[in-house]
C-alpha cells in the first residue's frame, strides 16, 4: 500500500462518487431522511444492503478510508500486526511520533533529547512502517490530530486512529473514531472495523461567539450537560447557524474533546469554513470535490427543519450567551464560568495562585488559537505586563510552529515570558520534567488541554488541573491567580497602573499562507519486504508478542478479586502514562504499572491491595505478577464508566497478560470495553448496581454457564464469602455472536491469525 503525505484526490473522488447513491439507499432502507452522520457511515458500510442499522443495538462492519497511529499506541498495534502474517497494510496508514517527547527546556533541545532517548523505539517504528507500507511522520512534525487535520482529513471521509482524540478530524467533517490497536489491526489486515451503530445526538448551535467565549467553551458546556459518560454509544452531530460561524480548527477543538463525554465521535457538516481551511492547507481540489456533493455532506433538509424527529437527543446552545468556562479539577465535566472559580476555590480550600499555565495539546494548538493567545500577550506586554506564572506553549504541528514564528506570534508570547515547547503532546501526557513543585504540594495548573485526571500532567496527585480555552489560560497566566475574571478584572503593572486585558477576534488562517517548516514525512518504499525490523530480545522497551491462549472451555470458578476500584477508574488509573510511556512496546515491563492509580474500594489506598495467595498487602502490579506466576486467574471490579479516557489498549492487554478473566463494572467506556473484548477478557456489567457493594476484599467470584454465552443473554455470577456462603448475581454483556468468537479464540487477533494460516 503506497502511503503519501496527504490523501490522494482519487481516493476522495471514489468516496464522493458513491456518496449520493449510498445516501439514497440509506433513505430507502430506513424510510426517512438522514443525518450527516448516517450518510457517512452508510457510505462506508461493507455491506450497505443488508447490514442491520438499529441505533445503539446493531454492530456494523465498516471500511474506513485510513488508519492513523501515534507512537505510544502504534508500537503495540504494529507488534500485533506483525504476528498476523500480512506482507503490507491493506488500507492507507500512518504513524505519528508525538507522545514520547519530554518537555524540559525548550522545543529544540527537548526534541534532540527525545531523538536520543527514544532512538530504539523510533527506529522500530520507522522500520516497521517501511516494511509494511505505512507512512511515517518523524518526531517534531506535530501532534497526530493536527497533522491529520492539515494533511489527510476530508469532509465525508471515515477514519480510525489509535488515540481517543481522533475525533478531532470531525472539524473537517470526518467520522473519525478512536480505537485500540487491535481494531487498527483488523482494518490494516483488510477486515472491517466493527462498531455499534450509534445513536445520534444533535447539537444545534445558534448565535455567534463573541469576546472571551471560544470554541473550547462550546465543548466545555456540552461536557457539563452530558457528563463524562453521556455521549457513550453516540455520535454528536453539530449543526445550525452557530456551527458555520466557527472556523474548521475551532470545530476540531469541539470534536476533539467530545472524547471526554465518551462519544463514539463528533462531527460538523461541510461548510465554507472547511473550504477555506482546505484551500489554505493546499487542498483546493478537495474543496472543489466536496462542493460538488455538498448536499450530502450535511443532514437532509427535513432533519434540519425538525431535528427532534431524527436525533435521539437535541441540545441547543446559544453562542451569544456562552460565558468563558473552566472545568476541573480531576474531571473534564466539572464546569463553571471562569468568573466563579475564585469563590469556589476559596470555598473548597484550593490554592488561588496558579503554579503553571499551559497552552497547546491536540485540542487547542491551531494557528487561530495562537493568534488569539498572542494578541492578548501583545497588548499585555505593551501595557507593561508579563506572565506571573510559567507559561508553556506547545504548537500543534511543525506547520503551525513555523507559521506562528514567521508571523511574530511566538515572539509575542515569549515577550510575556512564555517558553515554546516541541510540537508534541508534552505535559498533556505527563511528559513534563517539572521541578518547581513536588508530590504533596497543593498547587493549581490551568491548561488548554482536554483531560485533567489526577497525576496526568506532572505525576503529582496534589496538582489540581483545570481545562479552559487558550485565551483564558493566557489571561490567568498574566493574573497569576484563578480569582480573576478576564472580562472585568484588572491587573496592576510595574508602574502601578491597573490594566484591563484586551481580547481580539482571532485570525482564522494566515494571510501569507502556511509555512511548511521542516518536512517530517517519510514515505515507505514501494517494496518493503527486504526491510529488517529490529527488536532486540534484550530490550527493555520492545518485546515481540506471543499469542494469548484460547479459552479452555471452563467456567471461571472462585477467582480472587485483584482490585475493586472506587470511583473513577480511567485508563490513566489502570495504565498510567508519563514515565511509563517508555514501556509501551514491552508488554511485560509496562505491566509493572497495572492499576497503580486505582483507588482500593476496601481501604481507600491508591494502587495497593491484598494478595489472596499470601495475605500480604502489596502494589497491584506485584499481586498480579504473583497470580500470573502461580497461574491463578483473577477478576477486576470497577465502578461507573470503567476505562474512561484514553484508547490505550495496554489497559486491556496488561490485565490479559497477567491472567484477568473478566472485568465486572457498573458501566464501561466504549473503547475500553472493546479493547477488553478484543483481547479475550470478558467485560460484564452488574444487572443490579448494588452487586458492586456486596463484593468484599476476601471474597472469591465465579462466572458460570460460559459454554452457553450468547448475545443479549445475561450471565450468572456468584460471590463466595469467606464463611462459605454464596450470593448469586446477574451480569449483562454486550458481546455480539462474532465477539463471542473472539472470546473463545483467546482474542480477536487469534482469529485473524487462523484465517491467515499463521
Among 168, 249, 612, 646, binds ligand MIC (CB under 6 A): 646
Asked whether position 227 contacts ligand MIC by CB under 6 A, the answer is no
- 431 near 111, Cβ under 8 Å? no
Q: How far is CA 22 from the centre of its chain?
A: 30
**Contacting ligand MIC within 597-636 (CB under 6 A):** none
> H/E element holding 137?
strand 135-137
Residue 30 CB neighbour total at 10 angstroms: 14
Asked if 648 touches ligand MIC (CB under 6 A), the answer is yes
Residue 720 bears catalytic tag: no
143 contact, one of ligand MIC, ligand SF4, none, CB 5-8 Å limit per kind: ligand SF4
333 is catalytic: no
Q: What is the separation, in whole angstroms, between the first and last Cα of the chain? A: 21
How far apart, in whole angstroms, are the C-alpha atoms of residue 283 and residue 340?
43
Catalytic residue list contains 738: no
Distance CA 347, CA 330 (A): 17
Stretch that binds ligand MIC, among 49-57, 388-396, 411-419, 641-649 (CB under 6 A): 641-649
The three cell numbers of residue 72 are: 505510544
In the set 22, 66, 96, 99, the catalytic residue is 99
Residue 92 DSSP label: -
Of the residues 65, 71, 98, 458, only one is catalytic, namely 98
Least Å distance between CB 647 and ligand MIC?
4
Other CB atoms within a 10 A radius of the CB of residue 91 amount to 20
In a 3-state reduction of DSSP, which class is residue 408? Answer: coil
- Choose the catalytic residue: 648, 650, 733, 753: 648
Q: Which residue in the block uniquely carries the three cell numbers 494557528?
A: 367
Residue 182 binds ligand MIC (CB under 6 A): no
Neighbour-count burial for 376-411, b at 16+ CB within 10 Å, e otherwise: bbbbbbebebbbbbbbbbbbbbbbbbbbbeebebbb
Which positions touch ligand SF4 (CB under 6 A)?
99, 143, 163, 165, 361-362, 425, 428-429, 449-450
Does 359 engage in binding with ligand MIC (CB under 6 A)?
Answer: no
Q: How far apart are CA 54 and CA 220, in angstroms?
A: 30
Nearest approach, Cβ of residue 404 and ligand SF4 (Å): 17
Considering the candidates 129, 646, 647, 667, report the single residue annotated as catalytic.
646
Nearer to ligand MIC, 380 or 429 (CB): 429
In the β-sheet with 313-318, what is the strand arrangement from edge to edge?
Answer: 265-267, 234-239, 199-206, 313-318
98 is catalytic: yes
**Residue 591 or 646 with smaller CB distance to ligand MIC:** 646
Which helix (H) or strand (E) element contains residue 684? Answer: strand 682-686
The CB-of-574 to ligand SF4 minimum distance in angstroms stands at 16
Asked if residue 163 binds ligand MIC (CB under 6 A), the reply is yes
Task: Supply the minimum distance, in Å, between the C-beta of residue 98 and ligand MIC.
Answer: 9
Catalytic residue among 451, 573, 625, 670: 451
Segment (H or E) for 415: helix 409-415
Choose between 84 and 373: whose C-beta lies nearer to ligand SF4. 373
Candidates 149-157, 340-348, 601-609, 640-648: pick the segment binding ligand MIC (CB under 6 A).
Answer: 640-648
**Among the candidate windows 235-243, 416-424, 590-598, 645-653, which touches ligand MIC by CB under 6 A?**
645-653
Active site residue 50: no
**675 is an interface residue for ligand MIC by CB under 6 A:** no
Residues 86-115, one symbol each (x = binds ligand MIC by CB under 6 A, - = not), give -------------x----------------
Here's the x/- map for ligand MIC, 575-594, by CB under 6 A: it reads as: --x-----------------
- If the CB atoms of residues 646 and 750 are measured against ligand SF4, the closer one turns out to be 646
Q: Which is nearer to ligand SF4, 420 or 425 (CB)?
A: 425
Distances (CA, A) of 463 to 277, 360, 470: 37, 19, 19
Output the DSSP codes for 506-573. PPSS-TT-----S--EEPPPS--TTPPPP--TT-SSB-PPPPPPPP-S--EEEEEEEEEB-S---HHH
**Closest distance between ligand SF4 and the C-beta of residue 394, in Å?**
8
Gap between the Cα atoms of 314 and 318, Å rounded: 13
- From ligand SF4, ligand MIC, none, which one binds at residue 240 (CB under 5 to 8 Å depending on kind)? none
Q: Helical H runs in 51-118?
A: 71-82, 107-117
CA atoms of 503 and 379, how far apart (whole Å): 9
Q: Residue 71 CB, nearest distance to ligand MIC (Å)?
A: 8
Q: Known catalytic residue: 646?
A: yes
Considering only 139, 231, 645, 746, the residue that binds ligand MIC (CB under 6 A) is 645
Integer Cα distance of 491 and 120 in angstroms: 49
With CB under 5 to 8 Å by kind, the binding choice for 645 among ligand MIC, ligand SF4, none is: ligand MIC
Site for ligand MIC in 257-316 (CB under 6 A): none
C-alpha distance from residue 107 to each of 420, 421, 422 (Å): 6, 4, 4
Nearer to ligand MIC, 202 or 643 (CB): 643
**Contact between 633 and 556 (Cβ < 8 Å):** yes
Strand partners, 507: none
| 429 scored as a contact of ligand MIC (CB under 6 A) | yes
**Closer by beta carbon to ligand SF4, 72 or else 290:** 72
Determine the interface stretch with ligand MIC among 547-555, 634-642, 643-651, 725-733 (rule: CB under 6 A).
Answer: 643-651
> Using the rule CB under 6 A, is 481 a contact of ligand MIC?
no
- Active-site annotation holder among 65, 71, 110, 163: 163
Tell me which of ligand MIC, ligand SF4, none is bound by residue 43, counting a contact when its beta carbon lies within the kind-specific cut-off of 5 to 8 angstroms. none
279, 150 Cβ separation under 8 angstroms: no
Residue 144 CB, nearest distance to ligand MIC (Å)? 8
Maximum pairwise Cα distance, the chain = 78
- Active-site residues: which are they? 98-99, 163, 451, 646, 648
Chain positions contacting ligand MIC, by CB under 6 A: 72-73, 99, 163-165, 178, 429, 451, 577, 645-648
Amino acid at each position: 500500500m503506497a502511503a503519501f503525505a496527504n490523501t490522494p484526490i482519487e481516493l476522495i473522488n471514489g468516496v464522493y462518487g458513491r456518496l449520493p447513491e449510498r445516501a439514497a439507499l440509506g433513505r430507502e432502507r430506513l424510510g426517512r431522511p438522514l443525518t450527516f452522520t448516517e450518510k457517512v457511515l452508510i457510505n462506508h458500510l461493507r455491506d450497505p444492503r443488508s447490514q442491520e442499522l438499529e441505533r445503539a443495538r446493531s454492530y456494523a462492519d465498516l471500511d474506513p478510508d485510513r488508519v492513523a497511529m501515534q507512537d505510544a499506541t502504534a508500537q503495540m498495534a504494529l507488534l500485533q500486526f506483525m504476528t498476523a502474517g500480512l506482507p503490507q497494510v491493506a488500507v492507507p496508514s500512518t504513524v505519528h511520533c508525538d507522545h514520547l517527547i519530554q518537555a524540559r527546556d525548550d522545543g529544540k533541545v527537548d526534541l534532540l533529547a527525545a531523538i536520543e532517548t527514544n532512538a530504539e523505539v523510533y527506529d522500530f517504528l520507522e522500520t516497521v512502517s517501511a516494511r509494511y507500507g505505512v507512512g511515517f511522520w518523524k518526531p517534531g512534525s506535530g501532534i497526530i490530530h493536527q497533522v491529520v487535520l492539515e494533511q489527510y482529513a476530508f469532509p465525508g471521509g471515515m477514519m480510525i486512529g489509535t488515540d481517543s482524540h481522533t475525533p478531532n478530524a470531525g472539524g473537517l467533517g470526518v467520522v473519525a473514531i478512536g480505537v485500540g490497536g487491535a481494531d487498527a489491526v483488523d482494518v490494516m489486515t483488510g477486515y472491517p472495523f466493527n462498531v455499534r451503530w450509534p445513536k445520534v445526538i444533535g447539537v444545534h448551535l445558534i448565535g455567534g461567539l463573541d469576546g472571551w467565549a471560544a470554541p473550547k467553551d462550546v465543548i466545555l458546556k456540552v461536557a457539563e450537560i452530558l457528563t463524562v459518560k453521556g455521549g457513550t454509544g453516540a455520535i454528536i452531530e453539530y449543526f445550525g447557524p452557530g456551527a458555520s460561524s466557527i472556523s474548521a480548527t475551532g470545530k476540531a477543538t469541539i470534536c476533539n474533546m467530545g472524547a471526554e463525554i465518551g462519544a463514539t465521535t463528533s462531527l460538523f457538516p461541510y461548510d465554507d469554513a472547511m473550504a477555506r481551511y482546505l484551500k489554505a492547507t493546499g487542498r483546493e481540489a478537495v474543496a472543489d470535490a466536496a462542493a460538488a456533493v455538498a448536499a450530502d455532506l450535511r443532514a437532509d433538509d427535513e432533519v434540519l427543519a425538525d431535528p427532534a424527529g431524527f436525533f435521539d437527543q437535541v441540545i441547543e446552545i446559544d453562542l451569544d450567551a456562552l460565558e468563558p468556562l473552566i472545568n476541573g479539577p480531576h474531571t473534564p465535566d466539572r464546569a463553571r464560568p471562569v468568573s466563579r472559580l475564585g469563590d469556589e476555590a476559596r470555598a473548597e480550600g484550593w490554592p488561588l495562585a496558579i503554579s503553571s499555565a499551559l497552552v497547546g495539546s491536540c485540542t487547542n494548538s491551531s494557528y487561530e488559537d495562537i493568534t488569539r493567545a498572542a494578541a492578548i500577550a501583545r497588548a499585555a506586554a505593551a501595557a507593561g505586563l508579563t506572565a506571573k506564572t510559567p507559561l508553556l506553549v506547545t504548537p500543534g504541528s511543525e506547520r503551525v510552529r513555523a507559521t506562528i514564528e514567521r508571523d511574530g506570534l511566538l515572539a509575542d508570547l515569549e515577550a510575556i515570558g512564555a517558553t515554546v515547547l516541541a510540537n508534541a503532546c508534552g505535559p498533556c501526557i505527563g511528559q513534563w520534567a517539572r521541578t518547581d513543585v513536588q508530590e504533596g504540594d497543593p498547587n493549581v495548573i490551568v491548561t488548554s488541554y482536554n483531560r485533567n485526571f489526577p497525576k496526568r500532567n506532572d505525576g503529582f496527585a496534589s496538582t489540581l488541573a483545570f481545562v479552559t480555552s487558550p485565551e483564558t489560560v493566557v489571561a490567568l497566566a498574566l493574573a497569576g491567580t484563578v480569582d480573576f475574571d478576564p472580562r472585568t478584572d484588572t491587573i496592576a503593572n510595574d508602574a502601578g497602573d491597573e490594566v484591563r486585558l484586551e481580547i481580539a477576534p482571532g485570525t482564522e488562517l494566515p494571510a501569507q499562507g502556511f509555512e511548511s517548516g521542516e518536512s517530517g514525512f517519510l514515505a515507505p518504499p514501494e517494496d518493503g519486504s527486504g526491510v529488517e525490523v529490529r527488536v532486540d530480545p534484550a530490550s527493555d522497551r520492545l518485546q515481540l508478542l506471543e499469542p494469548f491462549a484460547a479459552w479452555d472451555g471452563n467456567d471461571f470458578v472462585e477467582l480472587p478479586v485483584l482490585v475493586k476500584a472506587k470511583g473513577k477508574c480511567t485508563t490513566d488509573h489502570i495504565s498510567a502514562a508519563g514515565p511509563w510511556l517508555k514501556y509501551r512496546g514491552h508488554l511485560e515491563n509496562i505491566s509493572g504499572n497495572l492499576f497503580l492509580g486505582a483507588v482500593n474500594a476496601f481501604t481507600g489506598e491508591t494502587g495497593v491491595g491484598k494478595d489472596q495467595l499470601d495475605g500480604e498487602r502489596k502494589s497491584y502490579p506485584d499481586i498480579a505478577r504473583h497470580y500470573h506466576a502461580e497461574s491463578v486467574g483473577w477478576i477486576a471490579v470497577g465502578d461507573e464508566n470503567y476505562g474512561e479516557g484514553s484508547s490505550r489498549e495496554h489497559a486491556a492487554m496488561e490485565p490479559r497478560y497477567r491472567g484477568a478473566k473478566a472485568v465486572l463494572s457498573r458501566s464501561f467506556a466504549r473503547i475500553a470495553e472493546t479493547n477488553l473484548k478484543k483481547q479475550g477478557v470478558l467485560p460484564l456489567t452488574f444487572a443490579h448496581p448494588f452487586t458492586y457493594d456486596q463484593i468484599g476484599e476476601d471474597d472469591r467470584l465465579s462466572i458460570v454457564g460460559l459454554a452457553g454465552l450468547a448475545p443479549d443473554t445475561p450471565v450468572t455470577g456468584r460471590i463466595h464469602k469467606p464463611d462459605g456462603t454464596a450470593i448469586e448475581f446477574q451480569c449483562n454483556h454486550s458481546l455480539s455472536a462474532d465477539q463471542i468468537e473472539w472470546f473463545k479464540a483467546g482474542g480477536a487477533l487469534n482469529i485473524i491469525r487462523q484465517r491467515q494460516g499463521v
